[in-house]
Chain A
């Protein structure tokens, strides 16, 4: 294609004396060998040297400037609107119900714009008004909000909008109000890229879909939900430039806790009422979630009974406990996925003690006359550990090969434009060279071809599975004494259950060396499955144990363990 564009130009390059020209992104000729850019641009292709100076050459159309004419003027919130729309579309295509996008997400976005006074109000803030609003904010007068005439936003970009009189003409950004947006980001609860994910999550929660926050972040990492490659989301006539990069460029995927925090803040900003209740038929309830995680971690189905008992005893199944109500004074959004994993861990601790001794000596060989095999922690560990290591390595490789830069580079300022394009060209050429040598295919198209599975491990007898399935094994952790069934394991240990002050955060790394290795490995496994840190899972386990402590009714003697606790190292506060 480049030969067609540079047709006929065969002057050797000044620097390297080669004749190998290409046309760069900004329509200038560059030498493919040494990247020397010359003055000649594509416009001049029409001018042949044998025309004399007396002839007038007129152009019918100037393709270079045509692109600029259609560039829309747009506000930052419009950009975010596009981003959210793309994210919602992606989620709908993955199986979420359509109401999620049309009713819930759209309403949330409208309410958000309303509450942050960006649209759908009588006096929306536009550029000049916004700066005045900010000034007045700093002076401490929240009421006086001068305004300009603004139109309410619709789904499509508005045409014929007059820029407000106050906005300057030197455009440091592609959008109209990026610099003001950045100033007001913290004070006015404005939208940021991680917040888009928080908004999606709130909407998913409202619709009571089975996609947990951990799943959402995994979808983002696998590029099934647009977050990293923003240029592909936005329409071509929206020109991202300059300060927009500070708003729209992402260099990392936000962590679970960050999105969680943002979701709680956002719910307050949007002034949402209490969410629909999370009851047993909803897939976010601990019971269905634990089923999912038990399947994933190859634990026997018999464990489910015990999980139910734990949930009941800790009174975690109550609707009031689980449902998110932003109206309350201290709204608490439960981390459903981490909680489910923590319940499983507590159950395992209950049944097998997990102190690096008891679980390895549990009877596994007895009962061979029965049909089903007995579940044995050692065997489970031996199956699970290699699969876990393999999955972890695979995830590391995928993380390392992640492409962070989108197809079109972000240009931060006019004078950097050529530099940015040059870097992009260099990167492309180098990658092309090395890919030819190693015959490696770029990995980023994988996500669109393989179907998404919410399970990371696959257990069974099929050829592609990670190992044999232990789901059908039966648990052998009770024995009969005096007509009552009792648990084989008589003791239960836990770390100190006092609540820490909110300032201390890095607790887990201090207490981790003193915890039993099996317990830490289990934390590791579940934190890998969910994509969170081990400390967070451990914190949830402590929460559940606190719930046990708080319960009012006496323990039923039948099949619950005694609450004798062997305390481990105290928390160094």
Chain B
């Protein structure tokens, strides 16, 4: 009943021409631009229908860019008639356009209800074959965001068993996503049922709940095995495994997710592993090793402070170099520049016994020029000594431990003759600490 052959011919041509150019030369045409006016030379003349639909599209686009959603919706109703265009290629393009524009406009209209969304999605899904899976996914996302979990689940399960034509790469990606979200929705429904106390129906609901649980486990474990970034799915799977007290399996999954070379590099994986280990009271060595990997990926992560404190607690003698490096790396990021805890951590490291003095000296010599400009410019000194005195005090002590003489060079540059309280306080403090 659908115009499958025409759609398949066109989409096959698109895929083929991308790959094998020599044998499919007759399929390679210039892409059809429905919003461009026809070329003035040659025989390409536009029919009145195409001209008015092109102008309509332009007006809709301008209205949307200016956020005139009512105007856009009014012109959109006139644009819908282009779905009946007899040129197959144009009809396919306009179907895409109408789906995306229609849903966008609906999002912004004040009186659009979820029924309108559902109706439009259903209509566009069945308008053709190629977009069915994509529109199903989008509809499922929308329902998910609006809390309609059962409806979303139903949509996705109907989409799961739907096929057309050849299995192309694009289709398999959509199918993967559909499967993944099916599992995810199972998990959500399960967790919702678990959290609400079941009042009357005992056995049946338990059975249903365990059905959801099983479905979710199976689907999610399959999905997670494939390379990709599956953060929410991993988390939900781990939650389910923990509920079942299946710690080993959970650990295995997380380690696979974090350390498997096939998976794209994902700092969240290490975070999840660390949090899991912490939850289950793993030995500090394991925690440290996981955080070490995280440090190599994201040196500015907020868990670096935990890393430092862990290192200092466990190996106060041997790990001090690493802790120093980690802390100093952290402070070189502008988001940590004014963080009191980070500076306190550095202070703690520097206040260790003095056998590591050479190490500190080396590091400081390497980073001095950057740090003086970054942290200890006269302007910054002035601002902080007025606004954030505690931070400034910590920074001062750090600087002193690093062997710098504040009073000599930096304070000379600050405006003299200003006798406000903070300046006096910091001067006194310096004087006091030196004496």
Binding site for B on A (CB under 8 A): 15-17, 33-37, 251-253, 396, 399-405, 409, 412, 418-420, 422-424, 426-427, 429-431, 433-435, 437-438, 440, 443
Other-chain contact of B52, A404, A409, A412, A420 (Cβ < 8 Å): A404
Beta-carbon contact of A429 and B123 below 8 Å: yes
State whether B77 touches A435 (Cβ < 8 A).
Answer: yes
B65-103 CB contacts (< 8 Å) to partner A: 70, 73-78, 80-81, 83-84, 86, 98, 102
**Contact assessment for A404 and B48 in the assembled complex, using a CB-CB cutoff below 8 Å:** yes
- Jot down 28 A-B pairs with beta carbons below 8 A, ordered by A: A33-B122, A35-B126, A251-B47, A251-B48, A251-B49, A251-B50, A252-B46, A253-B48, A399-B51, A399-B52, A400-B52, A400-B55, A404-B48, A418-B1, A419-B1, A422-B1, A423-B83, A426-B123, A426-B127, A430-B80, A431-B80, A433-B119, A433-B123, A437-B73, A437-B116, A438-B74, A440-B73, A440-B77
A431 touches B122 (CB 8 A): no
Docked complex: B36-76 residues within 8 A CB-CB of A: 46-52, 55-56, 59, 70, 73-76
CB contacts (< 8 Å) of A429 on chain B: these are: 119, 123
A440 engages B74 (CB within 8 Å): yes
A110 to chain B, nearest CB (A): 31
Structural contact, A405 and B77, CB atoms closer than 8 A: no
Question: How many Å lie between the Cα of A415 and that of B387 in the bound state?
Answer: 80
CA distance A423 to B84 in the complex (A): 6
What residues of A have a CB within 8 angstroms of the CB of B158 in the complex?
15-16
Q: From residue B82, how far is it (CB to closest CB) to chain A in Å?
A: 9
**Cα–Cα distance between A16 and B157 once the two chains are bound (Å):** 11
Check A419–B122 contact: CB distance below 8 A.
no
| Residue B3 CB within 8 A of the other chain | yes
Most central of A405, A422, A431, A433 by chain B CB within 10 Å: A433
B2: interface (CB < 8 Å): yes
Q: Contact at A437–B56, with CB atoms within 8 Å?
A: no
- Given A401-B78, A438-B70, 20 new contacts (CB under 8 A): A15-B126, A15-B158, A16-B122, A34-B126, A35-B127, A252-B46, A253-B48, A400-B55, A404-B52, A405-B81, A405-B84, A419-B3, A422-B2, A423-B83, A424-B84, A434-B73, A434-B77, A434-B105, A438-B109, A440-B73
Cβ contacts under 8 Å, A402 to chain B? 48, 52, 78
* CB neighbours of B3 from chain A (8 A): 419
Contact assessment for B1 and A430 in the assembled complex, using a CB-CB cutoff below 8 Å: no
| Bound complex: CA A17 to CA B157 (Å) | 12
Q: Are B73 and A427 in contact (CB under 8 A)?
A: no
Q: Is B120 an interface position by the 8 A CB rule?
A: yes
Give the CA-CA distance A467 to B202 in the complex, in Å: 80
> DSSP class of B's interface residues: helix, strand, loop or mixed?
helix
- B50–chain A nearest beta-carbon distance, Å: 8
* Pair A400/B1 contact, Cβ less than 8 Å: no
Flag whether B125 is at the interface (Cβ < 8 A).
yes
Does A427 contact B81, Cβ atoms closer than 8 Å? Answer: yes
B416 at the interface (CB under 8 A from A): no
Contact between A426 and B83 (Cβ–Cβ < 8 Å)?
A: yes
Q: Is B154 an interface residue (CB 8 A)?
A: yes
Q: In the bound complex, do residue B123 and residue A35 qualify as a contact, i.e. CB atoms below 8 Å apart?
A: yes
Q: How many residues of B contact A (CB 8 A)?
A: 42
A400 and B127 contacting across the interface, CB-CB below 8 Å: no
Q: Which residues of A contact B80 (CB under 8 A)?
A: 427, 430-431, 434
B111 contacts chain A at the CB level, 8 A cutoff: yes
B282 within 8 A of A: no
Rounded to whole Å, the gap between the CB of A199 and the closest CB of chain B is 21
**Which one of A16, A409, A426, A431 lies within 8 Å of B77 (CB-CB)?**
A431
Tell me which of B2, B52, B125 contacts A34 (CB under 8 A): B125
> Assuming the A-B contacts A419-B3, A426-B123, are A400 and B75 also in contact, with contact meaning beta carbons closer than 8 angstroms in the complex?
yes
Query: Are B123 and A438 in contact, with the CB atoms below 8 A?
Result: no
- With contacts A17-B154, A37-B1, A431-B80 taken as known, whether A252 is within 8 angstroms of B51 at the C-beta atoms is yes
B112 at the interface (CB under 8 A from A): yes
Within the assembled complex, what's the spacing in Å between the Cα atoms of A435 and B77? 7
Q: In the bound complex, what is the Cα–Cα distance between A426 and B3 (angstroms)?
A: 14
Our pick among A252, A400, A420, A424 for the contact of B47 (Cβ within 8 Å) is: A252
Closest 5 CB pairs of A and B: A252-B48, A251-B47, A252-B47, A251-B49, A438-B73
Chain B hits for A16, CB < 8 A: 122, 158
- Which residue on A lies nearest to B6, using beta carbons? A419
- On chain B, the residues within 8 Å of A437 by CB distance are 73, 106, 109, 111-112, 116
Report A-chain residues with C-beta under 8 Å of the C-beta of B56.
400-401
Distance in angstroms between the alpha carbons of A401 and B79 in the assembled complex: 8
Q: How far is the CB of B6 from chain A (nearest CB, A)?
A: 9
What chain A residues lie within 8 Å of B73 (beta carbons)?
434, 437-438, 440
Q: Shortest distance in angstroms between A16's beta carbon and chain B's nearest beta carbon?
A: 7
Known contacts A252-B49, A433-B116; is-contact A427 B1 (Cβ 8 Å) = no
Give Cα A252–Cα B127 distance, bound, in whole angstroms: 26
Give bound CA distance, A252 to B52, whole Å.
Answer: 10
**B390 CB to closest chain A CB, in angstroms?**
57
Chain A residues contacting B111 (CB-CB under 8 Å) are 437
Which A residues are CB-close (under 8 A) to B105?
434
Complex formed: what's the CA distance from A449 to B99 in Å? 34
Residues in A whose Cβ lies below 8 Å from that of B119: 33, 429, 433
Residues of A within 8 A of B86 (CB): 412
A401→B123 CA distance, assembly (Å): 22
Which chain A residues border B81 with CB–CB below 8 Å?
403-405, 427, 431
Which residues of the partner chain B approach A430 to less than 8 Å between Cβ atoms?
80, 83, 98, 102, 120, 123
Contact A34 B70 (CB under 8 A): no
For the complex formed, measure the closest distance between the CB of A262 and the CB atoms of chain B, giving whole angstroms: 16
A443 to B120, CA, bound (A): 23
Most buried by B among A251, A401, A430, A435: A430
Q: What's the nearest-Cβ distance from chain B to residue A242, in Å? A: 13
Q: Would you give the shortest CB distance from A244 to chain B, in whole angstroms?
A: 14
Shortest Cβ distance from residue A430 to the other chain B in the assembled complex, whole angstroms: 5
Q: Is the CB of B123 within 8 A of A396?
A: no
Chain B neighbourhood of A440, CB < 8 A: 73-74, 77
Complex Cα spacing A423 to B51, Å = 21
Q: How far is the CA of A294 from the CA of B125 in the complex (A)?
A: 56
CA of A360 to CA of B224 in the docked complex: distance in angstroms? Answer: 78
A33 to B121 CA separation, bound complex (whole angstroms): 10
Measured between beta carbons, the chain B residues less than 8 angstroms from A35 are 123, 126-127
Please indicate the chain B residues that have their CB under 8 angstroms from the CB of A404 in the complex.
Answer: 48-49, 52, 81
0/1 string, B1-34, CB within 8 A of A gives 1:
1110000000000000000000000000000000
Query: In the assembly, what is the distance between CA of A16 and CA of B49, in Å?
Result: 35
CB distance B55 to A396 under 8 Å? yes
**C-alpha gap A512/B51 in the complex (Å):** 24
- A residues in contact with B120, CB < 8 Å: 430, 433
CA distance A17 to B151 in the complex (A): 12
Do A427 and B84 touch (CB < 8 A)?
yes
In the bound complex, residues from chain B placing their C-beta under 8 Å from that of A412 are 86
Residue on A nearest B79 in the bound complex, by CB: A400
Those of B119-168 within 8 Å (CB) of chain A = 119-120, 122-123, 125-127, 154, 158
Q: How far apart are B281's CB and chain A's nearest CB, in angstroms?
A: 49
Task: Please indicate the chain B residues that have their CB under 8 angstroms from the CB of A422 in the complex.
Answer: 1-2
